[in-house]
Amino acid sequence: MKIAPSVLTADFTNLKNEIDSISDADLIHIDIMDGNFVPNISFGPAITKQISKVSNKNLDVHLMVLDPLNWIDEFSLENVEYITVHFESNNFLEALTKIRKNGKKVGLTIKPETSVSLISKYLKDVDLVLIMSVKPGFGGQKFIPESLNKVKELVDLREKNNYKYVIEIDGGINGETAPLVKKAGVDIAVVGSYLFNKKERNKEMEKLRWKSLFFQI
Ligand SMILES: O=C(CO)[C@@H](O)[C@H](O)COP(=O)(O)O
Ligand SMILES: [Co+2]
């Protein structure tokens, strides 16, 4: 299971050191919130560009915005690997097409109250499916256990139909929930506050990976 730290709870007065402290990350997760789609505002393209300048990692952009189509060009930076939009946002289908056109990997995500069956017809065309395991908008919330069933559903659908997407989970991942999501079949776990509240983040990511393996045996 890959680990994608979310920098939402990083210390932005110390950004370069914060990014350096997660040098073993597989990807860096970028949470973009517009204060409309979710009741919070995070940061935008300018800060994302700064992050991409001080990091040699690929970025995984999670757009929690009402109109993703307006933002995709701004976030199609060189080291952005995935751009993920919400099924619940405006014109999400056109947004997926635009991400593909811009040469980025296409991600689709659903809120905790949205079922996998609603996105089943789009699954053949996406590279990543993100299951939100908390209500989008804030870091530091508690993991919603029903998310594990959605992961299993996605694993089954992928196997049955020979789909190619990777499964990502986002929200409330810590030392206890990481083994559970790995066991359910998650490929990429986003980890925010749990990681940034620790001092030795690379070591902590290693522990999360190790625990996950241990529980898989
Ligand atoms: O997208 C979001 C929240 O909306 C996440 O990426 C969080 O930032 C993850 O934070 P933790 O739950 O791990 O603290
Ligand atoms: Co996120």
Domains and CATH numbers, the chain: 2-216 (3.20.20.70)
pLDDT of residue 212: 55
73 catalytic residue (yes or no): no
pLDDT at 92: 98
Contact assessment for residue 65 and residue 93, using Cβ atoms and an 8 Å cutoff: no
Of 214, 206, 174, 203, the closest CA to residue 191 belongs to 174
The residue type of 14 is: N
Cα–ligand 2 centroid distance for 32 (angstroms): 8
Per-residue pLDDT band at 205 (split at 50, 70, 90): very high
- Sign of CA pseudo-dihedral 45, 42, 142, 154: negative
Q: Is 175 annotated as a binding residue?
A: no
* Closest to 61 (Cα-Cα) out of 115, 124, 105: 105
Q: In angstroms, what is the span from residue 109 Cα to ligand 1's centroid?
A: 13
Ligand 1 atom with minimal separation from the 143 CA: 12
Closest-lying ligand 1 atom to the alpha carbon of residue 133 = 12
* Ligand 1 pocket member 172 (CB < 6 A): yes
DSSP strands (E only) in 22-179 = 28-33, 59-64, 80-86, 105-110, 128-132, 166-170
Q: Is the CB of 171 under 6 A from ligand 1?
A: yes
| Confidence check: pLDDT of 73 > 90 | yes
Is the ipTM, as predicted for this complex, more than 0.95? yes
Tell me the average pLDDT of the chain.
96
Give residue 217 CA to ligand 1 midpoint distance, Å.
Answer: 28
Report the pLDDT averaged over residues 84-113. Answer: 98
pLDDT classification of 202: cutoffs 50, 70, 90: very high
Question: Ligand 1 pocket, 134 CB below 6 A?
Answer: yes
- In this prediction, residues 151-167 reach a mean pLDDT of 98
Residue 59 burial by Cβ neighbours in a 10 Å radius (0-12, 13-18, 19+): buried
CA dist., res. 134 & res. 88, Å (int): 15
- Indicate if the pLDDT at residue 215 is higher than 90: no
Whether the CB of 86 sits within 6 Å of ligand 1:
no
* pLDDT of 213 higher than 70: no
Report the alpha-carbon distance of residue 88 to residue 91 in Å, rounded. 9
Residue 165 above 60 pLDDT? yes
Lowest-confidence segment of 66-80, 94-108, 197-211 by average pLDDT? 197-211
The DSSP bridge partners found for residue 3 are 189
- Report the share of the chain in percent with pLDDT over 90: 95
Does residue 193 have a known ligand-binding role?
Answer: yes
Global pTM value? 0.96
Is 31 one of the annotated active-site residues of the chain?
yes
Q: Is residue 140 lining ligand 1, measured as CB closer than 6 Å?
A: yes
Confidence tier at 217 by pLDDT (50, 70, 90): very low
Q: CA angle, 23 as apex, 17 and 26 as ends, to 5°? A: 135
pLDDT, mean of residues 151-156? 98
Is there a binding annotation on residue 52?
no
